[in-house]
Amino acid sequence: MNAPVARALPRGLRINNPGHIRRGPDKWQGMAPPEQQTDPAFVTFVSIVYGLRAIARILVRYQDHHGLHTIRQLIGRYAPPNENSTDAYIAFVSKRTGFHPDQPLDLHTYEHMKPLVVAIVTKEVGHGHGITEAQFDKGLVLMGVEPPAKPLAQTATVKAAQATAAGTLTLGGAIEVERQVGEASTALSPAIDTLQRF
């Protein structure tokens, strides 16, 4: 990416921190090394996936350690009135997710966590954030929040086997299967290697 394009990105995307997580004593998984922590207020992550994981990590902590289960409670802490228009933020997240502000959520489930993280990112860095569904999912997997399993017939492995049996697997199709398998492996290895970190 060339420098003019990078400068045009919202701040949270430039530092791979689309949730605008503030700097502090926490040593986050995927945190960039000290020499790259050049933003005066917010943490810089090595990739957007780790920035997404950090949002999910904060939300799970709010739920598990502070007993916060609704959008009103969660956003009230995530975006406090001394820094944000909290009521407007709650209304935005509620509308975006389709969850009532006082509806209890279980943030260990993909069905509740993913829409909440997407809404927070959209509120923080804008609608044109460009973060892909696969990146959101990788961030959640790193936090232990798994997307629902695809039916076996829709998996890349079964599709490849079917295409090979039919003699229709093209080079492009083989490359795509290899990419999907690689992405799954990449998403899981950092979680296994760094479970002891925040």
**Average pLDDT rounded to a whole number, residues 181-188:** 51
pLDDT digits (tens, 9 = 90+) for 149-177: 877 666 555 555 555 555 555 555 555 55
- More confident position, 190 or 151: 151
- The secondary structure of 41-74 as a DSSP string is SB--BSSHHHHHHHHHHHHHHHHHHH---SHHHH
Q: By three-state DSSP, how is residue 31 classified? A: strand
Residues contacting 154, CB < 8 A, separation 6+? none
Round the average pLDDT of the chain to a whole number and report it: 84
At 32, list the tokens: 């960039």
Mean pLDDT is lowest, of 73-77, 99-103, 164-168, for 164-168
Residue 13 or residue 181, greater confidence:
13
The pLDDT confidence band at residue 59, using thresholds 50, 70 and 90, is very high
Q: Is the pTM of this model over 0.85?
A: no
Query: Can you tell me the mean pLDDT for 47-51?
Result: 98
Residue 5 has pLDDT above 60, yes or no: no
The confidence score (pLDDT) of residue 150 equals: 74
The helix (run of H) or strand (run of E) holding residue 92 is helix 86-97
Q: Residue 146 has what pLDDT?
A: 94
Q: What is the pLDDT of residue 126?
A: 93
